[in-house]
Amino acid sequence: MKEFAVIETGGKQYRVSEGDTVKIEKLSGEHKAGDKITFDKVLLVDDGKNTDIGTPYVEKAKVTGSFIEEGKAKKINVVKFKSKSRYNKTRGHRQIFNTVKIESLK
């Protein structure tokens, strides 16, 4: 069984393993390709034999990764509609995301 961790970033939780490439919510600040990123909000760590569950976070656990790129997701249409009143609005939205390659679980 492969070692994995559950991290929290951008209000969402992600299950990550070493070598994974993850699309996460936009990180604050400016980042360039190759920058090191440390996630210290680790909720769970599993090494195949032992499982550590945090309350709410596991102490001294860190997940490090490298920034790859910033991108935009596919466009979604947000529609507001009220029947019998000739009211409808359509708006488009593209969510910004960051791609991070997970390098190590500590």
pTM for the predicted model, two decimal places: 0.82
The owner of tokens 């359509």 is 90
Residue pair 94/74 in contact by the 8 Å Cβ criterion? yes
- Integer CA distances (angstroms), 95 to 15, 57, 101, in order: 21, 27, 20
- Determine the residue type at 99: T
Distance CA 40, CA 20 (A): 17
Q: What is the pLDDT of residue 106?
A: 87
Neighbours of 20 (CB within 10 A): 15
Q: What is the pLDDT of residue 46?
A: 94
- Along the 106 residues of the chain, how does pLDDT read in single tens digits? 689 999 999 999 999 999 999 999 999 999 999 999 999 999 999 998 999 999 999 999 999 999 999 999 999 999 999 999 999 999 999 999 999 999 999 8
**How far is C-alpha 64 from the geometric centre of its chain's CA atoms?**
13
